[in-house]
Homo-oligomer: A and B are copies of this chain.
């Protein structure tokens, strides 16, 4: 458990990645009570320094004693590193907020979206999991609807940006685009096929049941975060040639009837949500507008009369911020509040 302090020794593990980078920025912009910032990454980043509050912080490599004296560690270094290092950090007395998929479905690890289930923080045992990016923005919107009308079923199709894969994928999209415009051969290293001017219905690995791991994350994490295993989700997750922000087309079936107007009213006061919905004025959320913001933007809210209580909507959020770094920092802030 986190002990109440004025300021906290805070670490970012995986500090040189796309999400780690955003974590450092978020700690700074939100004036997180950092006593001292420690940054960790793999050997490849040795010697690097990252600016934080006008000082350059060196990037260190991890060893068995690294976590001594650290209060809070934000991990974004992949599932394998989290599996190895997070328990070690906890034994050093550190609270770990982990962005990887490693601990999310562990019954001993709470999976937190602060707007949705802050109460689950109470039972953490040292590790707290940060959900998948596409799940976070969806549950922020589903929660207020669920509270008044009970969400029975969601059919979701995603349009996910390449930054969800990481910095290398952003580089690949840029390089492929440049190569194509110059009539050069392209190289596919991060994705199995060209992502420039293309879409790929394939995120993370394929499972036995024909779904991808990303799709099943949306199914299973939603139930855990919402604390209701009866919510049925079916997902198709698709990579699109967009640098930043995930968009999602949601078809929601509720137990109680809600009009589009009621949903709009409900979401306009929901924490972390901005209703951006006036199609007659061409107002609907799009990735390039939402990039760099903290909220989940909702538009195209309309009734689906093919079922009794159906609602369609279109939601966009910055996958590096609310989908990753921001949500992790918000969890840390909530922890401090409860300490």
Q: A236-B249, A300-B236 are in contact. Are A193 and B280 (CB under 8 A)?
A: no
Q: Which residues in B have their C-beta under 8 angstroms from that of A312? A: 234, 236
On whether the beta carbons of A282 and B192 are closer than 8 Å, the reply is yes
Do residues B306 and A240 form an inter-chain contact, with CB atoms below 8 A?
no
- A305 CB to closest chain B CB (Å) equals 8
In this assembly, does A211 line the interface, its C-beta being within 8 Å of a C-beta of chain B?
yes
Q: Does A181 contact B (CB under 8 A)?
A: yes
CB of A129 within 8 Å of the partner chain: no
Once bound together, how far apart are the Cα atoms of A260 and B18, in whole Å? Answer: 38
* A260 and B210 form a contact (CB under 8 A): yes
Question: By CB atoms of chain B within 10 A, which of A199, A282, A303, A314 has the most?
Answer: A199
Does chain B have a CB within 8 A of A177? yes
- The distance in angstroms between the C-alpha atoms of A199 and B293, with both chains bound, is 17
Question: How far does the alpha carbon of A200 sit from the alpha carbon of B197 in the complex, in Å?
Answer: 15
Provide the residues of chain B in CB contact with A305, threshold 8 Å. Answer: 234
Cross-interface CB contact of A307 among B153, B236, B243, B299, cutoff 8 Å: B153
Cβ–Cβ contact B288 & A206, under 8 A: no
Which residues of chain B have C-beta atoms less than 8 A from A279's C-beta?
A: 202, 206, 210, 212
Query: Are A287 and B198 interface neighbours, CB within 8 A?
Result: yes
A242–B181 Cα gap in the complex (Å)? 14
Chain B nearest CB, measured from A171 CB (Å): 13
Distance in angstroms from A182 CB to nearest chain B CB is: 10
Q: Type the 1/0 row for A29-71, where 1 means its CB is closer than 8 Å to any CB of B.
A: 0000000000000000000000000000000000000000000
B242 and A300 contact, CB distance less than 8 A: no
Q: A193: which of B286, B303, B307 is its contact (CB, 8 Å)?
A: B286
> Once bound together, how far apart are the Cα atoms of A210 and B209, in whole Å?
35
How far, in whole Å, are A295 and B202 apart by their CA atoms in the complex? 21
Q: How far is the CA of A135 from the CA of B105 in the complex (A)?
A: 40
Q: Decide yes or no whether A302 CB sits under 8 A from chain B.
A: yes
Bound-state Cα–Cα, A251 to B250, Å: 12
CB nearest neighbor in B for A281: B206
Distance to closest chain B CB from A185 (angstroms): 14
Q: Is A102 an interface residue (CB 8 A)?
A: no
List of B residues within 8 angstroms of A201 by Cβ: 247, 249, 284, 286, 299-300, 314
Which among A174, A233, A279 has the greatest number of chain B C-beta atoms within 10 A?
Answer: A279
Contact between chains at A194 and B288 (CB < 8 Å) = yes
B159 adjacent to A197 (CB under 8 Å): no
Residue of B at shortest CB range from A181? Answer: B178
Question: CA of A238 to CA of B194 in the docked complex: distance in angstroms?
Answer: 20
Q: Which residues does A use to contact B, with CB under 8 Å?
A: 153, 155, 157, 159, 173-174, 177-178, 181, 192-194, 197-202, 206, 209-212, 232-234, 236, 238, 240-243, 247, 249, 251, 260, 279-280, 282, 284, 286-289, 299-307, 310, 312, 314
Q: List 9 A-B contacts (CB under 8 A).
A: A157-B236, A159-B199, A173-B197, A174-B181, A198-B286, A198-B287, A200-B286, A209-B303, A210-B303
Excluding A193-B286, A236-B251, 10 further A-B contacts by CB distance (< 8 Å) are A157-B249, A159-B240, A181-B181, A194-B288, A197-B242, A201-B314, A202-B279, A210-B300, A232-B306, A238-B247
